[in-house]
Amino acid sequence: MRNQSLLGAVLATLLLTMGSAATGVEKSEGAKAENANPQEAYVFKTIGERKLKIHFHYPSDWKATDTRPAIVFFFGGAWTGGTVGQFQAQADYFATRGLVAARADYRVKSRDGVTPDKCVEDARSAVRWMRQNSKRLGIDPKKLIASGGSAGGHLAACTMIAQSVEADSDDLSVSTIPQAMVLFNPVLNFENERMIGRLNGDKQLARKISPTLHIDKNTPPAVIFFGSEDRLKVHGDEYWEKAKSLGVRADKFIAEGQGHGFFNRSPWRERTLIAADKFLASLGFLEGEPTIQEPDGKASSPPEQRRAQQMRQTDRQRSEAPQQAPGGRRRRVDGNRGNVMARWLAMDKDGDGTISRDEAQGPIKGNFDRIDSNSDGFIDRKELGQLATRLRRRNINSILPKTHPDSSNWPDLFRPDLSNAVFPEGIWIVENGILTASEDQAIWTTRDYDNFILDLEFKTAPGTNSGVVVYCSDTTNWIPNSVEIQIADDYAEKWAKAPKSWHCGAIFGHLAPSKSTVKKPGEWNRFTITCVDQKIDVVLNGEQVVSMDMSLWTSAKTNPDGSEIPPWLNKPLSKQPTKGKIGLQGKHAGAPIWFRNIKIKELK
């Protein structure tokens, strides 16, 4: 590998699937420097390159000199996904009622590789930041309401714990305890086998983020919403019982016949907003009656139904129409995607473009909570597309080699005369079927590849440092714009002492091999490299040494395990394209490298 000095499913998630806090205030691009907008975002915490923002919604007559009550929402998504946009409708409504409303971002597993305790840390940091900046926000720090849904409801509830998990740079003299909580189907206790598993079995940590275990007579009042059919309702039952025994107010709202995430959709969105409004008014945070009206219960208006019908028709046409395949051949759309979409269309009885729990049938009903990745109680087009992609990956993974395949009948990656390769003239040559380079220059395919199995042999010399490059989007600046599977003489002292993510078989700079299986210089080694979307598997000399999910590498500075990434690899792998040129690195670090039997099988 060139350098500057030395040179983890069939389904993504289940039901709910330490950096330094910013001490100053950094506004997001486009925000005014002095006066707040009706909607505005501030960075409240920075971890490495990750900037977490709070998005504010202000009443139309808001002034910076106000001291208004404030409510902060945390989105759901299993501590794994979800977006800060979830509670925009609720934030907009409460801003019209006179509150300063906020929606806070936090780290999640799919983007940041974190466990739920880090999500809780971020939520507590957000509350502290709001209190520390109350004067510029025009809010009363003693009138703060925490709210959220599903995993976000858990985070909101964890703000009421006096001593929990804390970011190292948080000012612990600033309390996180809110004056009220509005919780939508939250997880409230991590002390069970399923939840502890998300914390790698850490029982002490589970207790620190279990709100029910911390209820006392000073716990702030709450209103808690659950559907009667939500399997998480047991969390509410336990909380209500303990709160009642201590004389703590915990209002109960049960939506009969509804499952998880019911509050995201009309008419339950309006019904829960009305109930939350009345609850907050009873505490003196709001005045007057709710200004939102309960709809007649119909799921969609006629215009929405017409749009949904148009979407359904488009999907049918796409699922039935043949598509153009590479090389001009005609092929039908992927079977999994077509089958999943067809089942979805058949189940969408009311034509609103989503499937409710009641509409779901068969395997989709049985796996509803797993498919409903944002836990909003409905399966939409995006989630169906994600399911189809996972099924496709599962089908491909079922045929992927765990050791070296018989590639004797596979096509060569490069023709014997290298007429389908790009390289500086005179640098790469083939002699007796062996490919080698005289200088430190790479050789590239002329076309892009996405899903494939690459099988090859290589031989090192003393001190060799080379690599196989995949997904390269820019061959003129390939180092930060590709993924490299490292080739190195691990027996050489220079490379043996290098970081393990520089050893042979590693995803260079990012993921070390699980074991060292490279042979001594002068002996032939065999690589089988499988690339399917963001998943890369590496078999070296009969042993699987690497299995990477690129989506977990969200930082360009640190790997998910906390180790540092070389500074010249300055793009997160999660954002790298998964289609590009394939290349081989030449005579790097002064030592030669030889390749032979370079075969490829494309996975369609």
DSSP state, residue 565 = P
pLDDT confidence of 301, banded at 50, 70, 90? very low
- Per-residue model confidence as pLDDT tens digits over 9-65: 333 333 333 333 333 445 443 332 233 345 688 999 999 889 999 999 999 999 989
pLDDT at 8 > cutoff 50: no
Q: What is the predicted pLDDT for the residue at 538?
A: 95
Q: What is the predicted pLDDT for the residue at 28?
A: 43
Q: What is the predicted pLDDT for the residue at 398?
A: 62
Q: What is the predicted pLDDT for the residue at 378?
A: 74
Domains of the chain are: 20-282 (3.40.50.1820), 302-373 (no CATH), 421-602 (2.60.120.560)
Q: What is the predicted pLDDT for the residue at 284?
A: 96
pLDDT, mean over the chain: 84
61 Cβ contact list (under 8 Å, min separation 6): none
pLDDT confidence of 278, banded at 50, 70, 90? very high
Q: pTM of the full predicted structure?
A: 0.54
Higher pLDDT, 236 or 265: 236
- CA atoms of 230 and 227, how far apart (whole Å): 5
Once rounded to an integer, what is the mean pLDDT over residues 369-377?
A: 71
pLDDT at 355 > cutoff 80: no
Percent of the chain whose pLDDT exceeds 70: 81
Q: Among 29-38, 160-169, 480-489, which stretch is predicted with the lowest mean pLDDT?
A: 29-38
Q: What is the predicted pLDDT for the residue at 316?
A: 44
- Per-residue model confidence as pLDDT tens digits over 185-220: 999 999 887 788 888 889 999 999 999 999 999 999
Once rounded to an integer, what is the mean pLDDT over residues 120-131?
A: 97
- CA atoms of 422 and 445, how far apart (whole Å): 6
Q: What is the predicted pLDDT for the residue at 352?
A: 56
Question: Which helix (H) or strand (E) element contains residue 110?
Answer: helix 109-112
- Per-residue model confidence as pLDDT tens digits over 552-575: 898 999 998 889 999 999 999 999
Contact status, residue 42 vs residue 26, Cβ threshold 8 Å: yes
pLDDT confidence of 339, banded at 50, 70, 90? low
Q: What is the predicted pLDDT for the residue at 395?
A: 64
Contact status, residue 378 vs residue 264, Cβ threshold 8 Å: yes
pLDDT confidence of 551, banded at 50, 70, 90? confident
Q: Among 27-31, 246-250, 355-359, 499-503, which stretch is predicted with the lowest mean pLDDT?
A: 27-31
- CA atoms of 517 and 541, how far apart (whole Å): 6
- CA atoms of 185 and 153, how far apart (whole Å): 7
